Amino acid sequence: MKGDAHGPTGSPSSFLLDDAARRGARYLAGLEARSVRAAPAAVADLARLETPLNDGPVDPAVVLAELDEVVSPATMAMAGPRFFGFVIGGALPAALAANWLATAWDQNAALGPVTPGVSRIEAVALRWLLDVLGLPPQSQGAFVTGATMANFTALAAARHAVLLRAGWDVEGDGLFGAPPVTVIVGAEAHPTLLKALGLLGLGRRRVVRLPVDRQGRVRADALPQLNDSTIVCLQAGNINTGAFDPFEEICDAARAAGAWVHVDGAFGLWAQASPRLAPLSRGVEKADSWATDAHKWLNVPYDCGLAFVREPGALPAAMAITAEYLPSPGAERSPSDFTPELSRRARGVEVWAALRSLGRSGLAELFERNCRQARRFADGLAAAGFEILNDVVLNQVLVSFGEPAVTQRVIAAVQADGTCWCGGTVWQGRTAMRISVCSWATRDEDVERSLAAILRAAAGSRSSAVRDG
């Protein structure tokens, strides 16, 4: 029997939640067999959603069934093992299940005294993160929506600190008439870092751009004179090559000059969690603030990013507010003292679950396995005669199949084939296909299957080029 979708108190009946869990599990199990990209017929079927809003209520069980029937097939299989686009990652079972449970709790995770359970678990997760990422233990942190907001949040603390040194209260008085701040970024900084600078009034364009090498690493020898009103933005993991900036050298120079170093480590910061990979990010712990994502390589569900700031007090100085109706701080940490938002969901719950379920060894295994799998892609493609454009030091591979138009055709063919999904890019003038390996679900057999599909697509595109030419 289907049962009533409402429980006795008006809460969802267990039938409805069981039904959601059943449908979710069926969806995940089905990812193995289906095309990674949404089938064109499923996308066309989305037209069924284009109805006027109904006048009266609809049974929640029907609502859920409609969602599943119409929208599930039109999703991209990002949760599956063969999605290699952008830098995405799936959702670890413990993190996904914790997310569902926390959604049932529906906590507004702003204020420690009001929501002690989730506030405490976020505090614990932050302590574990500082430990596993090798960052200074006194650092303070925030759970935000992603690396864009993590950059924003950490750089708000940086802005506070450098202007305070110059005797300026930026939170109170804004930037009008403020002492100048010099912001230095690498020429290959991620555009969201520049967006964060723009949102903070520091300017997307009003930055000093450092030249980079062939892998996108900033050149330490090009560092201009620094002083205590300088913010230097470095990167752990270039979106295209996976390369790391020279932290040790630049952080030492910045420390001597009193400058602030911020690191955008959206995925690369996780190298710190593996003894084998940690040499790549050597010296990163000497920075003053860091941004990373949990929804990328830690494999928690969207959305979840993390900001950390070494100097205790700088983050709350930029973020905390008070109001008569809000409870005064208690013993329990209030997440909203550290975040741009007041009301927010408890993102730390699934981070805690991911860390707890993997442990130190599971984290290292995940990151090392994905890097090994990226290497296998690169070796397989190179052996077939295709050019790998980057040094595959982490989990990113850039491959050229020849002329830009040929590479574009291969990318389109790979996507249409549906065995796996890879996107494109232009790296320092060269058109390339990007392979980004960052899912817990990717097994070695998925890599072999995907490699075979890519080679098939390349062979097909080459022969069509010969026919066309």
Ligand X SMILES: Cc1ncc(COP(=O)(O)O)c(C=O)c1O
Residue 125 or 458 having the CB closest to ligand X: 125
Of 79, 102, 239, 284, the one binding ligand X (CB under 6 A) is 239
Residue 168 or 308 having the CB closest to ligand X: 308
> Using CB under 6 A, which of the segments 99-107, 110-118, 232-240, 378-386 binds ligand X?
232-240
Residue 16 or 135 having the CB closest to ligand X: 135
Residue 240 or 419 having the CB closest to ligand X: 240
φ/ψ (deg, to 5) at 434 = -100, 135
Nearest alpha-carbon partner for 266 in 438, 84, 94, 128: 438
Of 190, 310, 333, 345, the one binding ligand X (CB under 6 A) is 190
> Using CB under 6 A, which of the segments 125-133, 220-228, 264-272, 365-373 binds ligand X?
264-272
Residue count at the site for ligand X (CB under 6 A)?
14
User: Whole-angstrom Cα distance, residue 109 to residue 343?
Assistant: 7
Preceding amide of 303 cis, omega within 30 = yes
| CA quadruple 337, 340, 341, 344: dihedral sign | negative
Bridge partners (DSSP) listed for residue 388: 399
Q: Give min distance, CB of 246 to ligand X, in A.
A: 16
> Are 109 and 346 in contact, with CB atoms under 8 Å apart?
yes
Contacts from 4-9 at CB under 8 Å and sequence distance 24+? 5/59, 5/60, 5/61, 6/60
Q: Which of the residues 84 through 103 are near ligand X (CB under 6 A)?
A: 87
> Are 233 and 262 in contact, with CB atoms under 8 Å apart?
yes
Of 192, 241, 390, 395, the one binding ligand X (CB under 6 A) is 192
Q: Which of the residues 291 through 320 are near ligand X (CB under 6 A)?
A: 293, 305
Of 142, 218, 266, 457, the one binding ligand X (CB under 6 A) is 266
User: Whole-angstrom Cα distance, residue 8 to residue 89?
Assistant: 39
> Using CB under 6 A, which of the segments 57-65, 160-168, 233-241, 341-349 binds ligand X?
233-241
Under rule CB under 6 A, residue 188 binds ligand X:
no
Under rule CB under 6 A, residue 147 binds ligand X:
yes
Q: Give min distance, CB of 364 to ligand X, in A.
A: 21
Under rule CB under 6 A, residue 218 binds ligand X:
no
Transcribe 85-154 into DSSP letters.
STT-----HHHHHHHHHHHHHT--TT-TTTSHHHHHHHHHHHHHHHHHTT--TT-EEEEESSHHHHHHHH
Residue 154 structure tokens:
């950490």
Residue 109 or 144 having the CB closest to ligand X: 144
Residue 264 or 337 having the CB closest to ligand X: 264
> Using CB under 6 A, which of the segments 113-121, 141-149, 157-165, 253-261 binds ligand X?
141-149
Bridge partners (DSSP) listed for residue 83: 421
Residue 112 or 242 having the CB closest to ligand X: 242
Under rule CB under 6 A, residue 148 binds ligand X:
yes
Residue 125 or 266 having the CB closest to ligand X: 266
User: Whole-angstrom Cα distance, residue 118 to residue 124?
Assistant: 10
Q: Which residue is nearest to ligand X (CB)?
A: 146
Q: Give min distance, CB of 387 to ligand X, in A.
A: 23
Under rule CB under 6 A, residue 146 binds ligand X:
yes
Residue 425 structure tokens:
């890019």
User: Whole-angstrom Cα distance, residue 190 to residue 297?
Assistant: 17
| Plot region of 168 (φ>0 → left; ψ -120 to 50 → alpha; else → beta) | beta
Q: Where do contacts with ligand X occur on this chain (CB under 6 A)?
A: 87, 146-148, 190, 192, 235, 237, 239, 264, 266-267, 293, 305
